[in-house]
Amino acid sequence: MTIEITSDADLPKCIPAKKAERPRPQGFFSRTVIVTLQNGEDVVVQFRLEPLDLEPFQVSRRVLGATVPHIKVIQDKELESEKIWAYWMTRIPGKTWLEGARGRVSQTRVTTVRSLGRILSKGYVDDNSGLVIDSKLHPHLELLLASEDPQIRRFHVVAKDLIGKLDQLKNLPLFVAHFDLNHVNIMVDEDCEVSGIKFYMPPEFEDAERGFWQEIWDGIPENVRSRANPEAVQIAVTLGTLLGAFQLEDGKIGPYNPVVVGALPKFLTHRIALIRGSGSPYSE
């Protein structure tokens, strides 16, 4: 049996259920079905072309609760033999941010982003980030510094500066993060408050960004906030901006988006609201 999933028509049709519907939009590397079971419960079934690492889901679910879906593998040897992996997860109520805010994006952006900050502020995992710094971030910066790619070499000075500041980040508490938050994998309710988590600068960007950081700051545990160093947080944000532009693939610097790299000098000037006060988010 050979299964090639290139459109909705290729989805398996053998899932026992009262009803099934295909949400829009679908992912690039997966196909998703919302299934209503015999007991009336809705679950999400997803077919993927490569297996998922479930540990990030489990950690996020543990600290953020029902905002993150519960996920399990659907064991199917026939599908797996064809390099298709199936999963089921609880359905998060609401609509995607893209759909839920349609026609009122500007009016609701601040509400949604503040709500997102409030949720992420609950993502405390550990007292310090030393293990992640040593095992993930330091090696990543070393790879950037070793690269002879002219586009990457433009940022060697920034990378050298950051690698010298890594020890300042080890005392920062470790929180969960999301690799790709966007309008499609954030779920919102009717009021555009975030109900679940699955760059141009609009006029309301600064209010939304300030609100996001305020909700983070107000929402983290008091014992963590009392030890927080905004300068170290700023270093971490700059570091994430740089490493996010040059991501790893199989232990090496992978293909990067030249548009993102072209905008990177501007992005690296960003100063979080906790640091800049009433100033502009980006240097001119």
- For the chain, what are the domain ranges? 8-90, 95-276
CATH architecture entry for 95-276: Alpha-Beta Complex (3.90)
Residues in the chain: 284
106 vs 212: CA distance, rounded Å: 16
CB atoms near residue 121 (< 10 Å): 21
**pLDDT for 25-70, tens place per residue?**
777 778 888 988 877 888 889 999 888 888 888 889 999 988 888 8
Burial-class residue 202 by CB neighbours within 10 Å (0-12, 13-18, 19+).
exposed
Which DSSP string do the residues of 103-157 spell out, in sequence order?
A: T-HHHHHHHHHHHHHHHHTT-EEES--HHHIIIIIHHHHHHHHH---HHHHTTHH
66 vs 120: CA distance, rounded Å: 13
**pLDDT for 6-37, tens place per residue?**
555 554 455 567 788 887 777 777 888 898 88
Burial-class residue 278 by CB neighbours within 10 Å (0-12, 13-18, 19+).
exposed
Share of the chain above pLDDT 70, in %: 91
CA max distance for the chain = 62
C-beta of residue 274 within 8 angstroms of C-beta of residue 233: yes
Sheet of strand 186-188: strand arrangement: 95-96, 186-188, 194-197
**C-alpha dihedral (135, 138, 139, 143), degrees to nearest 10:** 160
Residue bearing the bigger pLDDT, 197 or 264: 264
* Residue 202 token pair: 């609009």
The per-residue b/e assignment along 22-45, b for 16 or more CB within 10 angstroms, e otherwise, is eeeebeeebbbbebeeeeeeebbb
pLDDT at 6: 53
CATH architecture entry for 8-90: 2-Layer Sandwich (3.30)
Q: Considering only CA atoms, which of 19, 22, 23 is closest in space to residue 39? A: 19
Residue bearing the bigger pLDDT, 23 or 152: 152
Q: What distances in angstroms separate CA 60 from CA 22, 122, 196, one per listed residue?
A: 26, 10, 12
pLDDT at 3: 43
